[in-house]
Structure 1
Amino acid sequence: MKRVFSVLLLVLLLNGCDDGDLTLETIDFEDATTQSCSTNDIIYKLKEKEALLFEIPESSFENEPTAPDSPTIIDIDNSTYRVVYRFYNGTVATDNICNTIPPALPSVTDQWTATSGKIQIITTAVKTTNTTENSTRISGYNHNIVFKNITFDKGNGTQVYETFPFGDYVTPSTALPFGFDKIVEQCSTSTKQIYNYVSSEAITIDFIDPKLIENTETPLNTPRTGLLSSVKNKLTYRLYSNGVLTPNYFCSTTVPTLPSISEEWNAVNGVAGVSGIIEVTTIKSGTTAYKHTIVIKNATLKKGNSDFKLGDSYIYGELLTF
């Protein structure tokens, strides 16, 4: 019995000490922060005398959330997309990774180079919340990176990982200023477009329901209501570049090419009593004019797979009619 126990113990010890890989077979950068170089396409993680380097074009990180169960998949080709694991003889720093001429020390003592595998990227929007308005804005996009079936050439053999998490990498989003002055204008054309704009952005309501803008005062605390949709009361936010918006941009039969639209966000269809509600309160202004205060409630604006909340009660602006 003692002999059998000794044999079993020896087998367990052998299996626990050697699984066929050389030393440092475990790559663990879970607690390391993802960093990036400004002079090249390398993102990396550092840990004392180790560095995990990932070369990937910045254009690979699209600021658009990936659809559920449809991550971005890219092949490691050891050219455009490279993964390298390095060991140094001293503490490694950013200068050793990003500088065109890296410092002489510490020097690389060993390197593993990925020869094959897949890069899986799952992208989600990073949102900030204004708790006062219950509104959200997208501040960036988080790209969770995992290597699948990655094979490293260690020089004296190979190391294969079925699933190898690299970690998160965040790219900034374009800021949407929302710097409107709340003075609203209306076109006399068939669409009856209502618009509010500043130099680089506009928020419009196309095909406004004429029943919402009537020259009749609304009863106290009883605004006229409607729902946002893609057909009627179509709410759109646009951010522009390469030019400055003027009143001439709006109401024309042909939309001007400049300034060019850099981003367009459209309101999600409203649900009665729940979301995407447009409210209009009308009062007399002087002897012949009427002032219509337009409020958008619980609206969500969407672009592709991205979306944000306009807020519980967003004051679109005031429209004067005669």
Structure 2
Amino acid sequence: MKRIVSAILLLFIITACDDGDLKVDVIDFSDVPAQKCSDKYIVYKTKEAEMLILSVPEEVYVQLFKNDETLPDTPRVVEINSSNQVIYRQYNGTVSADNICPNVTAATPNVIEEWNATSGTIEITTTSIKTVDANNATRITGYKHNIVFKNITFQKPSGNQTYETYVFGDYTTSVSALAFGFDEEVDKSTCDNRIFDFAGGEAFILDVADYATLFENAVTTDPRTATISATNKLSYRLYSNTISNTYFCTTPQPTTPALLQQWNAVDGVTDVSGIIEVTTTVYGTGFQHTIHLKKVTLKKDNSTFSLGDDYLFGSFITNP
């Protein structure tokens, strides 16, 4: 008899513990790529009849998914609230972008269960996606945004469910690679000692402190060198329209074309990186100065790319 009573008591305890508030459901989208609605600031994942949604206002989207690397251990963070929403949905059929992206969403399949996040934070860590060539030159082609929800609590029909860390995964944004459509001829400024390389709206500008020494009218046996620094500057600029020497030599500087991007060379280390190398040869009655940039890195905000082991900036001719 005691055994029967004990079995009934154990069954009662097990049944009592199967309370809806204690039930933990597993939602796993780890192997699913993230997508974005083209006309809405919604990043989402779909898996058969399930959807996981991150929906934020435009200004928050721009902040979270800025095309620039985040510093180590410094993700971009926003609170989950009524505007910054995280939602899990379960449908009664295979779900697609048509169920979230259009202003008038598809009538089917139907939502059979929805969880809404009521608290927690959204954290984004961004890294650049780069190509690398045989010269060790890199170019940024996009950015990978790793999305993690911290201390997120979902309100669901059977009760609340909390994750200390829930990894949403990676969302990738693309960027147009800088054209770098320069040829091998550069121009000396008509108003100062800057050296310009122009290609449409692109301008590559070398501005060295000791111009007379680096570009002396004398044939070199060994290349003359200088190191990128606060006084030996190199910058790449992209403008909204064609740019020329006239723009840089006009005072005050014109407001058009507009500057779209500027990348500045990182200070070098003598004989190691950020090296400006000049070779001078005779050219007719004058001298030709050929400039190579070795192991130079360009930076904008937190993002960088390399010109490679040896980049030909170009040549120009001077007359004694």
- Structure 1 length normalisation: TM-score? 0.89
CA distance in 2, matches of 1:14, 1:267: 67
CA distance in 2, matches of 1:313, 1:208: 22
Q: Which residue of 2 aligns with 1:154?
A: 156
Q: Which residue of 1 aligns with 2:219?
A: 217
Deviation at 1:99, TM superposition (A): 2.2
Deviation at 1:162, TM superposition (A): 1.1
CA distance in 2, matches of 1:14, 1:164: 29
Is residue 28 of structure 1 aligned with residue 25 of structure 2?
no
Match of 1:187 among 162, 182, 189: 189
Match of 2:79 among 52, 70, 75: 75
Is the 1:193–1:251 contact (alpha carbons within 8 Å) kept by the matching residues of 2? Answer: no
Q: Deviations over 1:223-254 (max 9, x none)?
A: 111111121x211100111x321331133443
Q: Deviations over 1:63-109 (max 9, x none)?
A: 12111221111011122x11110011111122112122222221111
Is the 2:152–2:164 contact (alpha carbons within 8 Å) kept by the matching residues of 1? Answer: yes
Q: Which residue of 2 aligns with 1:85?
A: 88
Deviation at 1:314, TM superposition (A): 0.3
Q: Which residue of 2 aligns with 1:284?
A: 282
Is the 1:114–1:152 contact (alpha carbons within 8 Å) kept by the matching residues of 2? Answer: yes
Q: Deviations over 1:30-89 (max 9, x none)?
A: 01111111021111111111110111233131112111221111011122x111100111
CA distance in 1, matches of 2:49, 2:22: 18
Q: Alpha carbons of 1:103 and 1:207: their partners in 2 closer, same or farther (altered >3 Å)?
A: same
Is the 1:193–1:208 contact (alpha carbons within 8 Å) kept by the matching residues of 2? Answer: no
CA distance in 1, matches of 2:294, 2:223: 12
CA distance in 1, matches of 2:183, 2:209: 20
The one-letter code sitting in structure 1 at the alignment partner of 2:297 is T
Q: Which residue of 1 aligns with 2:303?
A: 306
The one-letter code sitting in structure 2 at the alignment partner of 1:257 is T
The one-letter code sitting in structure 1 at the alignment partner of 2:54 is F
Is residue 64 of structure 1 aligned with residue 61 of structure 2?
no
Q: Which residue of 2 aligns with 1:145?
A: 147
CA distance in 2, matches of 1:315, 1:38: 40
The one-letter code sitting in structure 2 at the alignment partner of 1:274 is V
Q: Which residue of 2 aligns with 1:135?
A: 137
The one-letter code sitting in structure 1 at the alignment partner of 2:183 is D
Secondary structure at 1:144 match in 2 = strand
Is residue 249 of structure 1 aligned with residue 247 of structure 2?
yes
Q: Which residue of 1 aligns with 2:109?
A: 106
The one-letter code sitting in structure 1 at the alignment partner of 2:156 is K
The 5-angstrom pairing of residues 161-172 of structure 1 reads 161-172=163-174
The 5-angstrom pairing of residues 230-245 of structure 1 reads 230-231=230-231, 233-241=232-240, 243-245=241-243
Is residue 121 of structure 1 aligned with residue 124 of structure 2?
yes
Deviation at 1:207, TM superposition (A): 2.8
Is the 1:76–1:114 contact (alpha carbons within 8 Å) kept by the matching residues of 2? Answer: yes
Secondary structure at 2:100 match in 1 = helix
Secondary structure at 2:186 match in 1 = strand
Secondary structure at 1:236 match in 2 = strand
Q: Alpha carbons of 1:212 and 1:108: their partners in 2 closer, same or farther (altered >3 Å)?
A: same
Q: Which residue of 1 aligns with 2:265?
A: 267
The one-letter code sitting in structure 2 at the alignment partner of 1:238 is R
Q: Alpha carbons of 1:200 and 1:67: their partners in 2 closer, same or farther (altered >3 Å)?
A: same
Is the 1:45–1:51 contact (alpha carbons within 8 Å) kept by the matching residues of 2? Answer: yes
Q: Deviations over 1:148-202 (max 9, x none)?
A: 1111111342111111111111112242110012211112545x11111121110
Is the 1:267–1:301 contact (alpha carbons within 8 Å) kept by the matching residues of 2? Answer: yes
Secondary structure at 2:307 match in 1 = strand
RMSD across aligned C-alpha pairs, in angstroms?
Answer: 2.2
Q: Alpha carbons of 1:88 and 1:76: their partners in 2 closer, same or farther (altered >3 Å)?
A: same
Task: Tell which deviates more after alignment, 57-66 or 47-56.
Answer: 57-66
Match of 2:175 among 173, 176, 194: 173
Q: Which residue of 2 aligns with 1:203?
A: 204
Match of 1:94 among 93, 97, 101: 97
CA distance in 2, matches of 1:35, 1:137: 24
Is the 1:194–1:208 contact (alpha carbons within 8 Å) kept by the matching residues of 2? Answer: no
In structure 2, stretches of 5+ residues that fail to align are none
CA distance in 2, matches of 1:173, 1:65: 13
